[in-house]
Amino acid sequence: AFIRELSGLTTLEAKLEQMMDVEKVIIVAGDSDKETFVKQELGRAAVAFLKEIIKKDVTIAVTGGTTMASVANAMVPLNVKCLFVPARGGVGEKVENQANTIVAKMAKAEKGDYRLLHVPDPLSETLYQTIINEPSIAETLSYIKNASIVLHGIGEALAMAERRKTDDHIVEKLTSEKAVSEAFGYYFNREGEIVHKVRTIGIQLEDLASTDYVITVAGGKSKAQAIASFMKQRKNDVLITDEAAATEIVNQY
């Protein structure tokens, strides 16, 4: 704690909390764009925060991505009954970065339980209607909708579109509508307005309002604008980020 104060991280946290109107900001030293251990630190900070807040049995909904994968790597038993569920259906990630893989890994490390969502991506309207009524999927969806903690990553809009091998006409739309961030399959402009949404089942943005905690974990200087954009679109609870992203946000956004 002393080292953190000396290095100014505590001051930076307070500054960001005020600037972004976020209840709590936790900053780890360094830049996760440059050093992989910083991303691991983000994961560790997220697990430490979970340990602090979780006092009773909970359902935790988790998104995909490499940052969430590092949270899974850092997971330890939380000594309550935890159920981990993927926040949204397939959003085009590689297996190791898919929410399904991540929740299974978290549950194993935590000695908890998990449910998976197997949904094609993209999902057509007809299939969507059929799938949400499928009993096993409907059950998982009800766990997701009742999750009290949501743990998620943020990406840069165009980087995410590319990573998901998004159709050209959608990439064009994202470009012309100036999308800068992505989270939960939603793409946002710098004001935090939704400009596009991937059709899939699971958590919808409006569901976040009824959770106890929305924990956003995202770092790296390159994500500064994406983080600033996402944080604008709602009152967020907790942001866990790194020094490089935080400094860039304070200076630029």
Q: Do the Cβ atoms of 61 and 150 come closer than 8 Å? A: yes
The DSSP 8-state label assigned to residue 53 in this structure reads H
Least CB distance from residue 114 to ligand F6P, whole Å?
A: 17
Least CB distance from residue 3 to ligand F6P, whole Å?
A: 26
Q: Does 182 bind ligand F6P (CB under 6 A)?
A: yes
The DSSP element (H or E) to which 3 belongs, if any, is: helix 2-6
Number of residues that bind ligand F6P (CB under 6 A): 16
The DSSP element (H or E) to which 129 belongs, if any, is: helix 125-132
Contacts of 79 (CB under 8 A, 6+ apart): none
Q: Does 147 bind ligand F6P (CB under 6 A)?
A: no
For 80-117, b where at least 16 C-beta lie within 10 A, e where not — what string? eebbbbbbbbbbbbeeebbbbbbbbbbbebbebebbbb
Interacting residue with ligand F6P among 15, 24, 35, 66 (CB under 6 A): 66
* C-alpha span between 228 and 68 (Å, rounded): 19
Which residue, 112 or 202, is less far from ligand F6P as judged by CB? 202
* C-alpha span between 215 and 195 (Å, rounded): 22
Q: Does 153 bind ligand F6P (CB under 6 A)?
A: yes
Least CB distance from residue 214 to ligand F6P, whole Å?
A: 13
* C-alpha span between 80 and 68 (Å, rounded): 21
Q: Does 64 bind ligand F6P (CB under 6 A)?
A: yes
Interacting residue with ligand F6P among 9, 58, 60, 65 (CB under 6 A): 65
Least CB distance from residue 135 to ligand F6P, whole Å?
A: 26
Interacting residue with ligand F6P among 54, 60, 91, 137 (CB under 6 A): 91
Could you tell me whether strands 149-152 and 213-217 are parallel, antiparallel, or unpaired per DSSP bridges? parallel
| Contact region with ligand F6P (CB under 6 A), list: 17-25, 65-73, 124-132, 133-141 | 65-73
Q: Do the Cβ atoms of 217 and 71 come closer than 8 Å? A: yes
| Contact region with ligand F6P (CB under 6 A), list: 8-16, 123-131, 150-158, 171-179 | 150-158
Q: Does 160 bind ligand F6P (CB under 6 A)?
A: yes
Which residue, 90 or 112, is less far from ligand F6P as judged by CB? 90
Q: Does 202 bind ligand F6P (CB under 6 A)?
A: no
Q: Which residues bind ligand F6P (CB under 6 A)?
A: 63-68, 91, 93, 152-155, 160, 182-184
